[in-house]
Structure 1
Amino acid sequence: MRVISLNVNGIRSAERKGFFPWMQQQNADVICLQETKAQINQLSEDPFFPKNYHCFYHDAEKKGYSGVAVFCKTKPDNVISGIGRVDFDAEGRFIEAQFGNLSVISLYLPSGSSGEERQNFKFSFLDYFAPLLQERGQDGRNYIICGDWNIAHKAIDLKNWRGNQKNSGFLPEERAWMDTLFAEDQWIDAFRVVNQEADQYTWWSNRGQAWAKNVGWRIDYQVVSTALKDKIIGTSIYKDERFSDHAPLIVDYDL
């Protein structure tokens, strides 16, 4: 089973940059997208609803903002949008497709980089989301939670870690939250199961020569249930083309 996650930074922009032809070549079973920045009524059937996929969007109420989507080769048994709190769900940050005992989720955690107000919103989201993750980690289902988590967990996960310790995305409180997430192996960072190398990034600033110099951050993850740890076959970050300021994260599972 192949699962792809990508923050598209605007699905219409990614389409213009060739994302959909590339996506079709990957023959993925599930594709999770974040930051679609569009309402469904703004998207034509072709290419934004590929005929060989079942396509589900959870849009933000604010136009041109946030939004997540999941494309599935197999029709899900159920699709859940939102995490149950109005202010978070109004931003279109969570959609879950259920297949038997497996759930695949497209998640877009808030960014706090624009200022204190949004950082506090991010902390509120993390506080609310943590017990939900704990419950799901113990409910007997298997989960693949794909998305832009907007946090680099460890120093190996960003190039300039020393200079970013006071910046959103690498704050001590955010990294401690990730420590708790991965504590006792209740949840697993799928990429790091098979790749422990440095300089593996999924996002690069558009400023300067960040992409050319590979001055990036690894803030996109596929976080999986403990039971799936041994099912991870391989993973890669696709960088031959640029569809966004993020790169597609590809993970293959023996499912």
Structure 2
Amino acid sequence: MGAVPVPGTRGYVYRRGTAACVPQAYPFSAKKKISGTVLVRVGSGPVRGEPKRRRLSSNPPAVDDSRKEKDVEEIKCLIDGYDNTFWTCSVSKLGYSGTAIISRVKPLSVRYGLGISDHDSEGRLVTAEFDSFYLLNGYIPNSGDGLRRLSYRVTEWDPSLSNYMKELEKSKPVILTGDLNCAHEEIDIFNPAGNRRSAGFTDEERQSFGTNFLSKGFVDTFRRQHPGVIGYTYWGYRHGLRKTNKGWRLDYFLVSESIADKVYDSYILPDVGAPYFYFIFYHYDIDRDLRRSILINAVVSLVGFFVTVKIIPVASRYVLKRNLFGYDINKKGTPGGNLRV
């Protein structure tokens, strides 16, 4: 089942219906900016390359650290002003997974992983601490074919990440973005009845998502801002699933309840980036402390404040510049800023 367009503030939003069309949820700047506020945009969006494009190495640091650094620098050099790069890759399975944060502002501190050896060999989490919040870029383990990693996912990884976030939250609010590999509600997947035992939509994963994150006081910003609106971020690679709107919403921005009322908007751009995933932009109405920290760090334009990256297996300069960004993120007023590959 596709989605029927419903007039929005600009363009269209889409709700469940019969028309086969790609969902779009609140285009850029759909809401009027509140007078006297400063906005930070944190975006997230993946990219996939094509055959014969250069592979981003994920070899162990001792073997190929210089190659990884070179690849990350090539991504970074496409974004003027983003001088702080922090990344981690899988060392247990080469070319498998990784995450990164690229920022205009230098963080107070950066952590990699959860601090638990059993969870930290796949490069799935980077945490950057700023004056008024923690920004986490996560790539949550997929339960896999035959749900072989389901138990690990719901009994070990999710609780460990939740506990880690709650510990951070004792000192300041937390923002978690990335591929969380779970379509939490039936509206978040095109065929809920037929996917009950599919990785990413099992009852166990959905319950774990609710128990470990939503029930612990973390808010799904897209669903809070746009209840009842369809917004998919992933389509399968085969059978033209994107054209028939058979997608999933697997990518999120979760924030601490204490800053949920400062979220200006959280939405998905349907025509930016790679064919199967799309950027999500999160707007945070900054408090005075954060505003001062931005001025101290000489950040003039807040468009494109952070970049979060899910490491790309295959990419090239052309793909990155054309597909990854879609817009000139250095041009004032364009909806760019953050990407997760």
**What's the TM-score, normalizing by structure 2?**
0.63
Alignment of 1:6 onto 2:45: yes
Q: In the aligned structure 1, how far is the partner of 2:244 from the partner of 2:231?
A: 12
Indicate which of 144, 161, 174 corresponds to 1:129.
161
In the TM superposition, residue 244 of structure 1 has moved relative to its aligned partner by 5.4
Alpha-carbon offset, residue 42 of structure 1: 5.2
CA separation of 1:44 and 1:129: change in aligned 2, threshold 3 A: closer
1:172 to 184, 203, 206: 203
Larger radius of gyration: 2
Q: Distance in 1 between matches of 2:81 and 2:99?
A: 19
Shift of 1:136: 3.5
If asked which structure has higher relative contact order (CA below 8 Å, sep 6+), I would say 2
- Conserved in 2, the CA contact under 8 Å of 1:152 and 1:175? yes
2:86 is equivalent to residue 52 of structure 1: no
- 1:151 aligned to 2:182? yes
Q: Distance in 1 between matches of 2:162 and 2:285?
A: 28
CA distance in 2, matches of 1:155, 1:68: 28
| 1:43 has 2:82 as partner | no
Please state whether the residue corresponding to 2:222 is helix, strand or coil.
helix
Q: Structure 2 residue aligned with 1:216, among 235, 242, 247?
A: 247
The equivalent residue for 2:300 is none
Aligned residue number for residue 63 of structure 1: 94
Q: How far apart are the structure 1 equivalents of 2:168 and 2:130?
A: 15
Task: State whether residues 189 and 246 of structure 2, in contact with CA within 8 Å, keep that contact through their aligned partners in structure 1.
Answer: yes
Q: How many angstroms apart in 1 are the aligned matches of 2:133 and 2:276? A: 30
Moved more, 191-200 or 216-225: 191-200
SS of the aligned residue for 1:122 comes to helix
Amino acid at match of 1:135: E
Change beyond 3 A, Cα 1:140–1:45: closer
Q: Which amino acid aligns with 2:157?
A: F
Partners of 2:69 and 2:103 in 1: how far apart? Answer: 20
Does structure 1 conserve the Cα–Cα contact (< 8 Å) formed by 2:267 and 2:281?
A: yes
What count of residue pairs does the alignment treat as equivalent?
Answer: 231
Question: For 1:152 and 1:232, how far apart are their aligned partners in 2?
Answer: 21
CA-to-aligned-CA distance 1:156-204 (integer Å, 9 cap, x gap) = 11110111111111111111112222126x1101111211233211111
1:59 Cα deviation after fit:
1.2
Aligned to 1:225: 256
Amino acid at match of 2:122: E
Question: Does the alignment pair 1:102 with 2:141?
Answer: no
Matches of 1:239 and 1:196 in 2, distance apart? 18
Q: Is 2:227 aligned against 1:196?
A: yes
Deviation at 1:120, TM superposition (A): 3.0
Aligned equivalents of 2:214, 2:138: Cα separation in 1: 17
TM superposition shift of 1:131: 2.6
Separation (CA, whole Å) in 2 of partners of 1:44 and 1:37: 10
Q: d(CA) in 1 for partners of 2:183 and 2:276?
A: 16
Q: Structure 1's 153 and 37: CA in aligned 2 closer, same or farther, altered over 3 A? A: farther
SS in 2 for 1:86: coil
Aligned partners of 2:140 and 2:181 also within 8 Å: yes
* CA shift in 2, pair 1:172/1:111, >3 Å: same
What RMSD in Å do the two structures reach over aligned CA positions? 2.3
- Taking structure 1 as the reference length, the TM-score comes to 0.82
1:132 maps to a residue whose letter is: Y
Measured in 2, the distance between the counterparts of 1:116 and 1:215 equals 21
CA distance in 1, matches of 2:121, 2:184: 27
Contact 1:7 1:147 (8 Å CA) reproduced: no
Would the aligned equivalents of 2:76 and 2:102 in 1 still touch at CA under 8 Å? no
Is 1:96–1:105's contact at 8 Å kept on the other side of the alignment?
yes
